[in-house]
Amino acid sequence: MLKKLSILAAACLAILFLWDTPILYPLQMLVVFFHEASHAIATILTGGQVKEMVLVREQGGHVVSLGGWPFITLSAGYLGSLGFGVLFYVLSESKRYQKWMVMGIGFFILLITLFFVRNWFGFGFSLIAGILFFVAGRYLADDWNALILKAVGLTSMMYVPHDIYSDTIARSYLVSDARMLAEAYGGTTIMWGVLWLLISCYVIFSVFRRSLLRSDSQEGIGDVHGRNGI
């Protein structure tokens, strides 16, 4: 467990240290895509209609929609991208089907792009990202696909508390999902931001804890097998 904990801590610190550098820019834009896609999916699932989804090069975006349940659609951005991050991280630890998983993500990105993305930068970035995922899943070995899933998953999970704090607490004056939720349902921008921050930190802690405990149990089984000559 100690080895995996060290690697995990180093990866998280590297993401935070490199956050504002060009190295992480493609991953950050990918996380923005999942944030906005979560708004779009929540709108459709709650009976609304998505008019357009936009991604801008400044690591932002928006979804224009009609109908839907605002409580769900507004909450879906940060919590949805957190869900995607958790899903990718958990899938990266699966021992089978990583190639199909990465291809599936590519197909999902392409579907969202074709149906919803309506600006040139967003369409071009998302189209290239979807194709790259599909090609990676098709031609790269499982170990490489597992690394892709883990990198995207970790970045997406780390993005959520960072951006929640930045957009809803440190700069609560911004027009954000939390501010619109406060205007629609009461409370304050900071209140909703703190709630989302607590949820995201708890989920991330639980996922990491589960991953480390699972790794420890597998090492224990390996030790038993080794001692018994299996």
For the chain, the domains span 24-208
Cα separation, 183 vs 193, whole angstroms: 13
Alpha helix (H) residue ranges in 117-188: 120-139, 142-164, 177-185
pLDDT digits 0-9 by tens, 56-93: 999 899 999 999 999 999 999 999 999 999 999 999 88
- Cα distances (angstroms) measured from residue 201 to each of 2, 82, 90, 161, 196: 21, 10, 16, 7, 9
Question: Which of 185, 166, 186 shows the shortest CA–CA distance to 176?
Answer: 166
- What pLDDT does 2 receive? 67
Question: Which of 64, 84, 60, 53 shows the shortest CA–CA distance to 154?
Answer: 84
- Cα distances (angstroms) measured from residue 200 to each of 53, 149, 156: 24, 19, 11
CB of 48 closer than 8 Å to CB of 66: yes
Backbone angles phi, psi at 18, to 5 degrees: -95, 10
- Give the pLDDT mean for 6-28: 84
- What pLDDT does 146 receive? 92
User: The pTM is what?
Assistant: 0.89
Question: Does an H or E element contain 65, and which?
Answer: strand 60-66
Alpha helix (H) residue ranges in the chain: 2-17, 25-45, 70-92, 98-116, 120-139, 142-164, 177-185, 189-227
- What pLDDT does 219 receive? 55
CB of 84 closer than 8 Å to CB of 101: no
pLDDT digits 0-9 by tens, 78-137: 999 999 999 999 998 887 778 899 999 999 999 999 999 999 999 999 999 999 999 999
